[in-house]
Structure 1
Amino acid sequence: MSLIDKIAWLHLQEGRVLSTRSRGKDRYYLPGGKREAGETDTQTLLREIWEELTIALDPASLQLRGVFTAPAHGHAPDVLVQMTLYAATHTGQLQPAAEIEEIIWLTYRHRPQVSAVDQLIFDWLHQNGELAE
């Protein structure tokens, strides 16, 4: 069993969640990415969000929302992804950059279009009344 360590940004607005799709991918993913050697959660998240969406997260506003584990999409069955999820305020205009081809706002009805770990997060947000039908 191997584990992919990812840090992601949760951005909710009017019952919808910000999601992204990378070039060549068929699923949507919450924005974020893998930790580089020696990086903290905060460093990883700030770097990844800047690279993918060209916005700056406010480090002082980071709020841990949860840690979720599920099979990694597009990998062997014994590969899991562990997603550490943070909310934070930001400055700047959202726009796709690097490998990101599309930025989209999703609701719970889009659940089948996201990765397995994001499906867990969608379920949790929906049960908490934070993600609209």
Structure 2
Amino acid sequence: MTTATPERCAALRTALLGLHRHLIELERREYEKLHGRQSAGEFLQVMAYAESMRWLEPLSRLIVMLDEALEPGNADATEAPQVVAGRVREMLKLEASAEADFSSHYQRHFHTSPELAMAHAAVIRALG
């Protein structure tokens, strides 16, 4: 992201939310194969407390940082989006050297899900 305008930040936020949603859907499918159908509330508890879902936390934290930066009057409104963009680029590199826990899970899903590949492309476009 070369210039952190509110519109570009909002576009990145939307793209990241779409990516996050796809990852959660993929994790839910895998979880339900092993543990049976879960209600929305039950799976929310799994997402919140299961160690196996902790790998999504870095992405979740970046979305929260971007949300906070988009709040009116935030002093970090210009710097935070640049930090988020840099971290997102590192996380989504699809290289073996990327952040180990996130990268291994992400790459496994990426190579099996065309929807995730499309969401990934949307994030890359939003980064500019």
Shared fold per TM-score greater than 0.5: no
> Which structure shows the higher helix fraction?
2
TM-score (ref. length: structure 2): 0.33
Structure of higher RCO (CA pairs closer than 8 Å, 6+ residues apart):
2
TM-score (ref. length: structure 1): 0.32
> Which structure shows the higher strand fraction?
1
Q: Which is higher, the Rg of structure 1 or of structure 2?
A: 2
